[in-house]
Amino acid sequence: MSKLPEDRTENVFIDFKKPYTTSQALAEANRCLYCYDAPCITACPTSIDIPKFIRRIANDNVRGSAQTIFESNILGMSCARVCPVETLCVGSCVYNEMDIPPIQIGKLQRFSTDRAFEKGWDYFEAGPDTGKKVALIGGGPASLSAAHRLRRFGHQVTIYERDELLGGLNTTGVAPYKMKADASLTEVEWILSIGGIEVKTGVEVPKDISWEELRAEYDAIFVGFGLGKDSYLKGDNAEASGIYGAVDYIAKMKLEQLDVSSVKHAVVVGGGNTAIDAVRELLGVDIQNVTMVYRGGEHQMSGYVHEWAEAKKENAQVSWRSQPVGFVETDGAVSGLHCKKMDEHKKIIEGSDFEIPADLVLLAIGQGKQGDLMSGLPGLEIEWGKVVVDEHGATGCPGVYAGGDCINGGKEVVNATADGDVAAQAIHTFLTGENNG
């Protein structure tokens, strides 16, 4: 596993949510009502038995608590940090209906899983060899989750990853005040420690190895290759320096040292979670003026309300109902964003042109879908660039399964993890006829 530089930019960030001490975790765990038919379980895409893991903390069985989490979600450590718990488990806790603060499930999950990593507790081993081989395309959460479950079933697995690092957006895209890249890589190593997961990095499918070759060599294929490159805006001076895709730029912040000392005005275009993360990260590296530019109003943005509320507290500026139509350039470098105002129906108001000063522009307006990379596989269906699958992750091509962002267009780590696990169980049934799900 590559060693990350210590002086990388993300290391200036501190944890947004402080971890619990043992006494804090015990106090919180003892508040849980251990509900029957607990709504927090239903709200979790990986269906972790939340009351059970919390009760185990309360009973001073932290090792068992972490086991309960990992049984359902092998990426439980990262999900504890990056899940939008406010809209999932914590948001559905029964205490919300009583106007009592809900149980801090994410922080309790972090408490148990961090302890498991610190202590080096081991829970899983590979199953007896079945002689079946599965290829996993992409090294992010969906494939890691699938690979681990498939190893527990005893299948031979090989992960093919285009880049050098595994972990996908957990490694390169998570806001560093939630989780840093080295924590993701530690989790990757922990998952690989089950043994027998072959990893081939720097291999791009289908460029370096074709689908036909993969189908000939493996008994089943899982595709979890996520989304493609950032989308870019057209318009005047779109080639000026200082204009980046947000996902690309965030990856640089996480893996390298960036010099932002000359940036006076940064602009982030978009209204989703990537845009909000980018705004907060730029503010976090002490850029004084950071403006989000969004073509709708506040109630129309797709980013989480709780994340935007935090960005506002951190002094984020915003230009609502603003459509970028080009860039202003000075000596080859971007110096501003040329916008037009939009009405409430997102129609451009003619004659409403204005400029926002910017010496750095990040575009968080979406990423390409990669479903077309799979074209040519017989029976496969692609819709708007997304791979079409059934509820078990099966594509229309026998033996080919998919999960994560390439089927949903971009959701949470926990959704990708759940997809990988569901597909692994379906692949096991496909390969052996057994249903151990």
Residues that bind ligand SF4 (CB under 6 A): 32-35, 38-40, 50-51, 93-95, 103, 105
Residues in the chain: 437
**Which residue, 105 or 174, is less far from ligand SF4 as judged by CB?**
105
Q: Smallest distance from the beta carbon of 89 to ligand SF4, in angstroms?
A: 7
Sheet holding 156-161, edge to edge: 197-201, 156-161, 133-137, 220-223, 400-402
Residue 93 vs 301, nearer CB to ligand SF4: 93
Mapping DSSP onto H, E and C, the string for 302-327 reads: CCCHHHHHHHHHCCCEEECCEEEEEE
Decide the pairing of beta strands 317-319 and 243-245: unpaired
Question: Which CB, 105 or 250, lies closer to ligand SF4?
Answer: 105
CB 65 to ligand SF4: min, Å = 13
Q: Which is nearer to ligand SF4, 103 or 290 (CB)?
A: 103
In the complex, minimum distance from the CB of residue 28 to ligand SF4, in angstroms, rounded to a whole number: 10
Residue type (1 letter), 47: S
User: Please, which residue, 92 or 395, has the CB nearer to ligand SF4?
Assistant: 92
Q: Measured from the CB of residue 103, what is the shortest distance to ligand SF4 in angstroms?
A: 4
Compute the least distance from the CB of residue 328 to ligand SF4, in Å.
Answer: 51
Burial 169-205 (b: 16+ CB within 10 A, else e): bbbbbbbbbbbbbbbbbbbbebbbebebbebeeebeb
Q: For residue 59, what are its two tokens?
A: 């009973």
Smallest separation, CB 55 to ligand SF4 (Å) = 9
**3-state DSSP assignment of residue 126:** coil
* Secondary structure E strands in 314-417: 317-319, 322-330, 333-341, 354-357, 360-363, 382-383, 386-387, 400-402
Closest distance of CB 170 from ligand SF4, Å: 25
Question: Which CB, 45 or 303, lies closer to ligand SF4?
Answer: 45
Instruction: Identify any residues that bridge with 293 across adjacent strands, giving them in sequence order.
Output: 269, 319
* Identity of the residue, 56 or 132, whose beta carbon is nearer to ligand SF4 in the bound complex: 56
Comparing CA positions, the residue from 386, 406, 390 lying closest to residue 398 is 390
53 or 401: whose CB is closer to ligand SF4?
53
Q: Sign (positive/negative) of CA torsion 394, 400, 226, 170?
A: positive
How far apart are CB 18 and ligand SF4 at their closest, in Å? 20
